[in-house]
Amino acid sequence: MSTEGRPSTQPQEAAPGRRGLVVGAVAALVLLGVGGLLVRDVPPAGSHGCAVHADDGRPPAAVTEAAGRLREGVPADVASLEVVCRLAVEALPTGPGAPDVRDDPASWVVGVDAEAPQTQGVVAAARTLLDAAPTDVPFTWDLRVRDAARSLEVLLSAGGGTGLVADAVAVRLVPGVVETWFGAESGTVTVASAGDVVPVLRTTAGRDLPVTTVTTGDPWVEVRQVNPGAWPDEDAVALALDVAGWDGVWRVLLDGGEPASTTLTTAVEDDAQRAYVVSRLEALVAAPRVSFRVESPAAAIEGTVGGPAPASDVAAPDGAAADGVPADGVPACTGAELDVQVLGTDAALGSRFLFLAATHTGEQPCVVQGFPGLAFTRASGTWTPDLTQLPDRGTPPVVVLAPGSSVQSEVRWGAMSTAQDPDVAVAVTVQPVPGGPTVELALPTDLDVLAGATVKVRPWDVGGELPETGS
């Protein structure tokens, strides 16, 4: 019997090209089915409603109708909307026989993400969204506004204003700012480079912003407020940005701002780098005196930039009473009464030496105990970078200085090649006591204290006759 015009009852193998299309179509249908189980739209009559997770069930009409009215109140040219109705986590059903909390509008949160076409339009989008979101609803609004580039996002409070949004937009438009996020309690501003940090801090002045963090990724530095509107001072920020470039440092956090104290937290790769960073921080003299914490995977060390704290902040040594006052009642020198001099320089067997003296010019005796802090100025007029200052002796002696008497200190370092780095040191800045004033002194001869030098410093002690100033 002829079978022409009748369909074959035998299975036929699909052509290779069509087989791929069939498999792809089946997979797509499966994915669509699974997606439909996860999120579906529930559009009540007369409105667009909101997307709902299938496991949450259908929201009450009071929820979906309010969501629909909000959609209608925000024109598409002002902002595009994503509206999702979800059960609050604490409102999930508790077990058999329990009331179905899904029937209670108070169990629901309506999340609205409004996206403005441009950053400059975010304030108008926020105002329109707030006007469309009534506060007299039996559920909770979760309102957010952002730009189309997703580089700015602000959390809104139903019934609130747009002041925070306007300030956030102003910050986002500062050159160098990459991303800005603000909520009611905190905010984060991400900038492109370390050089963009200070301009952003200045831009926030006078703005009603919550506690804010400014961060940059290369190097990784975070400058964080403790109290709204108050940043660590710019000298401390400059220190943090400099430390971030030191060998082995992979993250720096600076937090503070009046009335809180400022703290520099540094994360390093290993214990050897931790010791290196600590020694450099303690050796800094031309830097703000802030607390630091250097963390490695094994441990952390805390201290103060510029060396140990003043005598009033540390335990008194043997033979001295509390607050740095010896048993005979002589107070610690403040540094203002000390006249610092460069006595001379010397060289021997590959070592170099610089000799310093400090003479008491006051009218009453005072006590000196510790090491002078140093910084060198190069011929180029810049600080000698990466200078490490190490103590050349153990516990410093307690020296009672009578008016007119002096103490001396010796600075020693290894000879360095000026052929590779001709930017020699031409002046030295000395801080005779921690926390005291500094003085810059011309050197009698150029010194090979070059970038990356390590100098060892002896504590102030009583010497012999003072040599004539010179080389």
Residue 284 has pLDDT above 90, yes or no: no
Same domain, 354 and 273: no
Cα 408 to Cα 356: distance, rounded to the nearest angstrom: 6
User: Element (H or E) spanning 46, and its range?
Assistant: none
What does R_g of the chain's alpha carbons equal in angstroms? 35
Proportion of the chain above pLDDT 90, given as a percent: 59
Q: What pLDDT sits at residue 113?
A: 97
Q: What pLDDT sits at residue 467?
A: 43
Asked if residue 105 has a cis previous peptide bond (ω within 30° of 0), the answer is no
The arithmetic mean of pLDDT across residues 84-88, rounded, is: 91
Secondary structure (3-state) at 255: strand
By mean pLDDT, which of 8-22, 131-145, 192-206, 406-420 is the weakest?
8-22
pLDDT, tens digit, for every residue of 339-393?
999 999 998 878 899 999 999 999 999 999 889 999 999 998 888 888 888 887 7
Computed over every residue of the chain, the mean pLDDT equals 82
Q: What pLDDT sits at residue 250?
A: 95
**Is the residue at 5 inside a domain?**
no
Look up the domain containing 444 and give its range: 332-457
Residues 6 or more apart from 360 whose CB is under 8 A from it? Answer: 333, 337, 338, 339, 366, 401, 402, 403, 404, 405, 406
Same domain, 282 and 338: no
The arithmetic mean of pLDDT across residues 315-324, rounded, is: 33
pLDDT, tens digit, for every residue of 60-74?
999 999 999 999 999
Q: What pLDDT sits at residue 90?
A: 65
Q: What pLDDT sits at residue 383?
A: 86
Same domain, 295 and 372: no
- Cα distance from N-terminal residue to C-terminal residue, the chain: 124
By mean pLDDT, which of 92-96, 278-282, 308-312, 388-392 is the weakest?
308-312
Mark which of 139, 173, 207 sits at the end of a domain.
Answer: 173
Question: How far is it between the farthest Cα atoms of the chain?
Answer: 133
Mark which of 109, 144, 173 sits at the end of a domain.
Answer: 173
By mean pLDDT, which of 90-94, 148-152, 294-298 is the weakest?
90-94
**Is the residue at 318 inside a domain?**
no
Same domain, 263 and 350: no
**Is the residue at 469 inside a domain?**
no
Write phi, then psi, for 274 (nearest 5 degrees).
Answer: -60, -45
**Is the residue at 338 inside a domain?**
yes
**Is the residue at 17 inside a domain?**
no
Q: What is the pTM of this model?
A: 0.60
pLDDT, tens digit, for every residue of 22-68?
334 434 444 434 444 344 444 443 344 899 988 888 899 999 999 99
Same domain, 299 and 357: no
Same domain, 157 and 226: no
Asked if residue 96 has a cis previous peptide bond (ω within 30° of 0), the answer is no
Same domain, 129 and 199: no
Q: What is the CATH number of the domain that holds 418?
A: 2.60.40
Cα 357 to Cα 206: distance, rounded to the nearest angstrom: 47
At position 329, the amino acid (one-letter code) is G
Same domain, 291 and 343: no
In order, the DSSP letters of 326-372 are BTT-PPBP-STTEEEEEEEEEEETTEEEEEEEEEE-SSS-EEE-S--
pLDDT, tens digit, for every residue of 197-232?
999 999 998 899 999 999 998 899 999 999 999 999
Cα 333 to Cα 339: distance, rounded to the nearest angstrom: 12
Q: What pLDDT sits at residue 328?
A: 63
Tell me the pLDDT band of 285, cut-offs 50, 70 and 90: low
Distance, CA of 82 to chain centre: 32
- Helices 122-132, 61-73: axis angle to 10 degrees equals 140
**How many independent structural domains does the chain possess?**
3
Residue for token pair 């050796």: 283
The arithmetic mean of pLDDT across residues 253-262, rounded, is: 92
User: Element (H or E) spanning 184, and its range?
Assistant: none
Same domain, 53 and 140: yes
Same domain, 373 and 437: yes
Mark which of 123, 146, 173 sits at the end of a domain.
Answer: 173
Same domain, 291 and 357: no
Cα 29 to Cα 32: distance, rounded to the nearest angstrom: 5
Same domain, 299 and 382: no
